[in-house]
Amino acid sequence: MIVAPGATIGIVGGGQLGRMLAIAAAQLGYRSHILSPEASGPATEVAAAWTRGDYDDWESMRRFGEAVDVVTYEFENVDPHTVAGLAGFVPLRPSCLSLDVSRYRPNEKQCAERMGGATAPWRTVRDPAELAAAVDQLGTPAILKTCMFGYDGKGQARIDRREDADGAWQAIGAPSPQDANSAPAILEKRVDFLAEFSVILCRGADGAIVVWDTPENVHRGGILDTSTLPARPEVLAQASAAVELAKGIAEQLGHIGVLTCEFFATVDGPIFNEMAPRVHNSGHWTIEGAVTSQFENHIRAICGLPLGDAGLVVPKVRMKNLIGEDAARWREILSDPCAHLHLYGKGETRPGRKMGHVTWLG
């Protein structure tokens, strides 16, 4: 099914990813309609319409779906069961399967393992007693994470000694499991890695796949700080295996749109960390640094259009997030002729909040 230019694209989520998706959609002649529980957000200024409603509110979701021609989402922390209802009367791309796998950490670990990918040793834990047993099994150092709703280092706590386990459980605020088949937290053995990197690909409705060059990522305080291309040789040596795994995951899920998989480069090869069924922070550099950005190719894919070239336009690219007060340096950044500044229009500056990013070419 092709959704022709002039149609309206529904985007679940009104943050900066929704903003950049709406900008890319407008460039191709589409209108965007946002669904978000907030009264406004970064996507407000560039969208044709905005429905305010909670992500688990079926009535708001239904009205939103009836007003658009195709639906996508900018983040995975939404209820797949509510979103699934949309698929009965409007195309939903990527599908609920991608959403269901990526929003629950054990599911994405198992998905990668079924495809032959390596993951850090892990255990699901439902209460402090299970956590203590998992620490004994895996050893330390380890990281305790919520199974859902974690991002930018939130919902995570380090366990360097066995005695840290109770404090870590309290720190992440893990709730009781709501059903017997789920767990509120996952314990992962900490990986001794050489570098972090991501594989960003886009799979079209016809099954065609394009892959962007592999960025090397540096995180600070759990938040992505920089993405740099080309990555160091030790990363590039492992990129092809990681790309094949990511492609396999996309095929297995029947994914349509951008899919991002994050990896650790280790002495034993790439270790799969997590995935996102959407455009991703480590791909922001593609706006200026690639022939076709991740945002444009995502719009192309969900609308059934041919995918654009994902190749680099220059040999070297670097992207840096502007966190909190970093965005106040806009005048200094703009004085650099090689810098491309993106500010997200967020009203309140807070520590740890992504306010924008800057990309340097060359």
| Residues 27-71: tens digit of each pLDDT | 999 999 999 999 899 998 999 999 999 998 899 999 999 999 999
What's the rounded Cα separation, in Å, for the pair 20 and 209?
21
Eight-class DSSP state of 127:
S
Q: How does DSSP assign 269-287, residue by residue? A: EEEEEEEESS--GGGTTHH
* Mean pLDDT of the region 276-296: 98
Question: Can you list the domains of the chain with their CATH numbers?
Answer: 8-92 (3.40.50.20), 121-189 (3.30.1490.20), 195-361 (3.30.470.20)
What is the pLDDT, as a whole number, of residue 176? 60
What's the rounded Cα separation, in Å, for the pair 26 and 12?
17
Edge-to-edge strand ranges of the sheet holding 70-73: 49-52, 31-36, 8-12, 70-73
Residue 2 vs residues 26, 33, 61, 95, 297: alpha-carbon distances, Å = 17, 18, 23, 16, 14
- Residue 247 exposure: Cα atoms within 13 Å on the Cβ side: 12
Q: Could you give phi then psi for residue 292, rounded to 5 degrees?
A: -130, 130
* Mean pLDDT of the region 228-253: 98
Whether residue 79 has pLDDT greater than 60: yes
pLDDT band at 87 (very low <50, low <70, confident <90, very high): confident
Q: Are 328 and 317 in contact (CB under 8 A)?
A: no
**Amino acid letter at 286?**
T
What is the pLDDT, as a whole number, of residue 152? 64
Strands 195-203 and 216-220: antiparallel
What's the rounded Cα separation, in Å, for the pair 108 and 101?
5
pLDDT band at 155 (very low <50, low <70, confident <90, very high): confident
pLDDT in tens, 249-261: 999 999 999 999 9
Q: Are 144 and 168 in contact (CB under 8 A)?
A: yes
Eight-class DSSP state of 44:
G
H helices of the chain, where? 16-27, 58-66, 80-84, 96-102, 105-114, 128-138, 165-172, 233-253, 286-289, 294-302, 330-334
pLDDT in tens, 96-106: 999 999 999 99
Strand, helix or coil for residue 226: strand
105-114: long-range pairs with CB below 8 Å, 24+: 105/145, 105/147, 105/148, 105/150, 105/186, 105/274, 106/147, 106/183, 106/186, 108/274, 108/275, 109/186, 109/272, 111/249, 111/252, 111/253, 111/275, 112/245, 112/249, 112/261, 112/272, 112/275, 114/252
What's the rounded Cα separation, in Å, for the pair 144 and 187?
5
What is the pLDDT, as a whole number, of residue 88? 87
pLDDT in tens, 173-187: 866 655 555 679 999
User: pTM value?
Assistant: 0.95
Q: Are 183 and 128 in contact (CB under 8 A)?
A: no
CA angle 275, 190, 174 (to 5 degrees): 70
